[in-house]
Amino acid sequence: MEITRLDVEGYEEVYRATDARSGLKAFIAVHDTTLGPALGGCRMWHYSREEDAMTDVLRLSRGMTYKSAVARTGLGGGKAVIIGDPKSEKTEELFRTMGRFVHTLGGRYTTAEDVGTNEADMLVLREVTPYVSGLPRIKGGSGDPSPFTALGVFVGLQAAVEEAFGSDDLSGRTVALQGIGNVGYHLAKQLNEAGARLIITDVNKERLKEAADELGATIVDPREIYSVECDVFSPNALGAVLNDRTIPQLKCRVVAGGANNQLGEERHGEALLRRDILYAPDFVINAGGIINVSVEFMDGGYDEAASLKRVHNIRRAMHDIFATAKEQEIPTSEAAVVLAERIVAEGRRKRDSGGAEL
């Protein structure tokens, strides 16, 4: 395996790894470890260019720093991406090689499952490195983080609905969900149980029909989901879906979903504000999964009750961000970054002063 360290401003460590025998092409980015060792998922995706994979790992690792900071996990931010089709190119040799790549960082980065990877893949990684979390419950881990991510999105969505409409009652509210994958499906079930009317879309037509039949949801084409009349637009697929093309199409009052990096560019937070659309910042609302995984690091091991309690705190964090945005007259996306960077800066001051309170 050939590993190359890349110099990227603003990031502590970034590496590229290739291995001809296993076919591995991957990146690991450690953004910031001020608050603790970096934790972030290992994504596998069929990127068309290596530059796209590099862009993704940098954006995602930075998001993990902010996500862990606001969620008060006591961890830093990192991410890994594997270039490849998760449906056709997975092999145990590939993931063992990836595990050795993770191991070279000596614990400064711990990985977990993400888009395109699962618990079984994490078990293969675990064969060659201890720096893996999100393992199955039977192995002492926290298991699939998707239900916890979905729970966090649900309570954060409730907070946003309360802010926008004066009540968190979802009965009769229309929610347009983009993506019925692991997180989107669990979220859709909770919304359905809360009485919301669902409009859904996904590129997986079979899964889409199953979800629609089970939940009584209305199906629309993926190109139409942005323009449907709804109270809440909920992006739960890949990122950069809020951009110059899609924002003018939105007919909602709230955007709240589980996808990472939803804004195409930072300026799109301002674009949403100008249209009087309340945005629930992604790295805050979707922190439930990383909160659940972080509980594995607690003394005594994983505790589901402790995890659920922490996930429910996302609602309070959302209200804090909405209040900060109002006070400073800035978009909620900026308010979330202000809060995250303040927490990291406080941690850095404590670290540099030897842990003494300032």
Same domain, 179 and 319: yes
Q: Is residue 151 part of a domain?
A: yes
* pLDDT in the model for residue 356: 46
Of 268, 232, 236, whose CA–CA distance to 253 is shortest?
232
Same domain, 87 and 163: no
Q: What is the mean pLDDT of the chain?
A: 94
Same domain, 105 and 210: no
- Is-contact 41 102, C-beta < 8 A? no
Q: Is residue 356 part of a domain?
A: no
Question: What range does the domain containing 232 cover?
Answer: 146-287+315-342
Query: Confidence class of residue 176 from pLDDT cuts 50, 70 and 90?
Result: very high
Same domain, 238 and 331: yes
pLDDT tens digits, 312-351: 999 999 999 999 999 999 999 999 999 999 999 999 998 8
Same domain, 168 and 91: no
Torsion over CA: 49, 226, 144, 337 (sign): positive
Same domain, 170 and 249: yes
Q: Does position 268 have pLDDT exceeding 80, yes or no?
A: yes
Q: What is the CATH number of the domain that holds 44?
A: 3.40.50.10860
SS3 (DSSP) at 34: coil
Q: Is residue 269 part of a domain?
A: yes
Task: Determine the average pLDDT of the residues in 90-100.
Answer: 98
Same domain, 177 and 273: yes
Q: Is residue 156 part of a domain?
A: yes
Same domain, 231 and 204: yes
Least confident of 75-79, 160-164, 189-193, 297-301: 297-301
Q: Does position 358 have pLDDT exceeding 60, yes or no?
A: no
Q: Which of 89, 110, 132 is the last residue of a domain?
A: 132
Q: What is the CATH number of the domain that holds 171?
A: 3.40.50.720
* pLDDT in the model for residue 203: 92
Q: Does position 278 have pLDDT exceeding 60, yes or no?
A: yes
Is 0.85 surpassed by the pTM of this model? no
Same domain, 165 and 109: no
* pLDDT in the model for residue 144: 82
How far apart, in whole angstroms, are the C-alpha atoms of residue 239 and residue 257? 11
Q: Does position 169 have pLDDT exceeding 90, yes or no?
A: yes
Burial class (CB in 10 A: 0-12, 13-18, 19+), 320: middle
Tally the domains of the chain. Answer: 2
Give Cα 286 to chain centroid, integer Å.
5
Of 124, 58, 49, 135, whose CA–CA distance to 94 is shortest?
124
Q: Is residue 80 part of a domain?
A: yes
Half-sphere exposure of 64 (CA within 13 A, CB side): 36
Task: Determine the average pLDDT of the residues in 49-63.
Answer: 94
Same domain, 166 and 102: no
Q: Is residue 141 part of a domain?
A: no
pLDDT tens digits, 182-231: 899 999 999 999 999 999 999 999 999 999 999 999 999 999 999 999 99
Q: Which residues are identified as catalytic? A: 79
Same domain, 176 and 265: yes
Same domain, 244 and 207: yes
Q: Is residue 302 part of a domain?
A: no
Quick one: tokens of 199? 């409009």
Q: Is residue 20 part of a domain?
A: yes
For residue 247, the 8-state DSSP code is G
